[in-house]
Copies of this chain bind each other. A is one copy, B any other.
Amino acid sequence: MASAISNTVLDIDRIRAEFPILHRETQLGAPIIYLDSAATSQKPRQVIDIMSRYYEQQNANIHRGIHRLAEEATQSFEEARNKIAHFINANSSKEVIFTRNTTEAINLVAYSWGRANLQAGDMLLLTEMEHHSNLVPWQMLAAEKDLHLEFIPVTDEGLLDWTAFEHFLLREPRLVAFTHMSNVLGTINPAAEMVSLAHQAGALVLIDGAQSAPHLKVDMQTIGADFYAFSAHKMCGPTGIGVLYGREKLLASMPPFLGGGDMIRRVHLRSFTPNELPHKFEAGTPAIAEAIGLGAAVDFLESVGLEKIHQHEQLIVSYALERLEEIPGVVVYGPRPEKKGGVVSFKLDGVHPHDVAQLLDTVGIAVRAGHHCAMPLHERFHLPATTRASFYLYTMEQEIDRLVEGLYKVKEIFS
């Protein structure tokens, strides 16, 4: 069934067999063509099942329990943390803090590190291609603390303006925060290089890894970031859980963020002593089943291989660019395939992206239309919105073909 490109790197049928939703017949009598993985990925059977099994066999609250279920649950939960530490090559599982999602992870840094360490006049360096999750927390902090925000511009090609970056570094930002991969342009930023320059300039670095951790091998030792944030739901894992990686010393030096059970060592009526890492930053009952689900997702991704997933997506995105650009009136944003991941945002002349998405939906193709939580980037390109097709390890070239056919039909209807 699957054809040449799709099978070059991965055994695509075998992979797709793991994802129940890809086989669900829609009202149209055929399975959905899901090209919206940058918003959230689909989930393989083993991730779904491990969470059901947890609730059916192990469910208990963790950490403080002595009975068997509590011990099993605690062990499964902490094993999941270890898997994630290993997945990103952290030095220790203490560097892996569970949050709800990327957004909360970034807010944690802004509230805890930011409020304790920044002063009026300090500069934070962001980029024009950030997701709102890596903008708004800093805007809120800047308003509170009277900080300067600066933004590395994005070139017409969809890359960061390197000269401007170096120029801003001369002004000694306290923090450089940028996305590893743009969720609109697909641009993969040279993270390790940027970290190294930023560190030379005396800044800490936070990387928004929401789009990279699912698709690339990310190695904390090679990249060298101080903080790295990502979400389970975009990497074959469940909703409700994300990760903040932070360097141990740095995390240890930071004040707590949320207060409550588990994050304390000792509590009196008027004072408390915080717990050790990672618990210091995990207040209240955590997302236990979800952590275990994320552990299974990481196992799944590693069993396929992140390098292979990336290679597969490179083939798919090259093919997609080639096919889309042959459609008259289509303009694709973002860099050439070598510099990007599996995300293609485009406009179709004379048709609003929402109309494109809706018409594609009527033929069973799921793409996203809008600003993709990156309004400033759309302003930069003078676009109210774009249509975005995004890919993952289960995307096949036939799906791209169907997308292209669909776009021809949309053109016809609006012609």
Which A37-60 residues have a C-beta within 8 angstroms of B? 39-40, 42-43, 47-49, 51-52, 55-60
List of B residues within 8 angstroms of A368 by Cβ: 64-67, 70
A261 CB within 8 Å of chain B: yes
Is the beta-carbon distance between B107 and A283 smaller than 8 angstroms?
yes
Choose, from A3-11, A234-242, A300-308, the stretch at the interface.
A234-242
A324 CB within 8 Å of chain B: no
List of B residues within 8 angstroms of A262 by Cβ: 373
Choose, from A78-86, A96-104, A155-163, A214-222, the stretch at the interface.
A96-104
- Write the chain B residue with the least CB distance to A41: B59
Give 18 pairs: A residue, B residue, CB < 8 Å, sorted on A: A20-B56, A21-B58, A32-B69, A36-B60, A39-B61, A40-B59, A47-B55, A67-B367, A104-B284, A132-B259, A132-B272, A135-B267, A135-B272, A137-B259, A139-B259, A240-B241, A268-B376, A290-B290
A128 CB within 8 Å of chain B: yes
List of B residues within 8 angstroms of A189 by Cβ: none
Partner of A267, one of B48, B107, B231, B375: B375
List of B residues within 8 angstroms of A48 by Cβ: 52, 55-56
Given contacts A24-B56, A106-B260, contact A379 B268 (CB under 8 A): yes
- Write the chain B residue with the least CB distance to A131: B261
A336 CB within 8 Å of chain B: no
- Write the chain B residue with the least CB distance to A136: B259
A320 to B338, CA, bound (A): 68
Given contacts A52-B48, A259-B137, contact A264 B66 (CB under 8 A): no
List of B residues within 8 angstroms of A36 by Cβ: 60-61, 65, 67, 69-70
Residues in A lying within 8 Å of B, measured CB to CB: 20-21, 24, 26, 32, 34, 36, 39-40, 42-43, 47-49, 51-52, 55-61, 64-70, 100-104, 106-107, 110-111, 128, 131-133, 135-137, 139-140, 142, 149, 151, 231, 233, 238-242, 256, 258-264, 266-272, 283-290, 354, 357-358, 360-361, 365-370, 372-373, 375-376, 379
Is the beta-carbon distance between B151 and A269 smaller than 8 angstroms?
yes
Is the beta-carbon distance between B354 and A66 smaller than 8 angstroms?
yes
Is the beta-carbon distance between B238 and A102 smaller than 8 angstroms?
no
List of B residues within 8 angstroms of A284 by Cβ: 100-104, 133, 231, 242
List of B residues within 8 angstroms of A376 by Cβ: 267-269
Cβ distance A118 to chain B, nearest Cβ, rounded Å: 15
A372 to B128, CA, bound (A): 47
Cβ distance A168 to chain B, nearest Cβ, rounded Å: 14
- Write the chain B residue with the least CB distance to A106: B260
- Write the chain B residue with the least CB distance to A261: B373
Is the beta-carbon distance between A61 and B40 smaller than 8 angstroms?
yes
A379 to B272, CA, bound (A): 14
List of B residues within 8 angstroms of A57 by Cβ: 20-21, 24
List of B residues within 8 angstroms of A60 by Cβ: 36, 39-40, 366
List of B residues within 8 angstroms of A242 by Cβ: 284
Most buried by B among A52, A56, A259: A259
Is the beta-carbon distance between B136 and A264 smaller than 8 angstroms?
yes
Q: Which 7 A-B pairs have the closest CB atoms?
A: A103-B284, A136-B259, A240-B287, A240-B240, A103-B260, A133-B260, A67-B366
Cβ distance A286 to chain B, nearest Cβ, rounded Å: 7
Given contacts A55-B21, A133-B260, contact A285 B139 (CB under 8 A): no
Partner of A239, one of B67, B286, B379: B286
List of B residues within 8 angstroms of A367 by Cβ: 67
**Interface contacts beyond A136-B264, A136-B267, A240-B288: sample of 17 additional A-B pairs, CB < 8 Å, sorted by A:** A36-B65, A39-B64, A40-B61, A40-B285, A66-B361, A101-B284, A103-B261, A107-B259, A133-B260, A135-B259, A135-B267, A136-B272, A140-B256, A151-B269, A238-B240, A240-B241, A267-B376
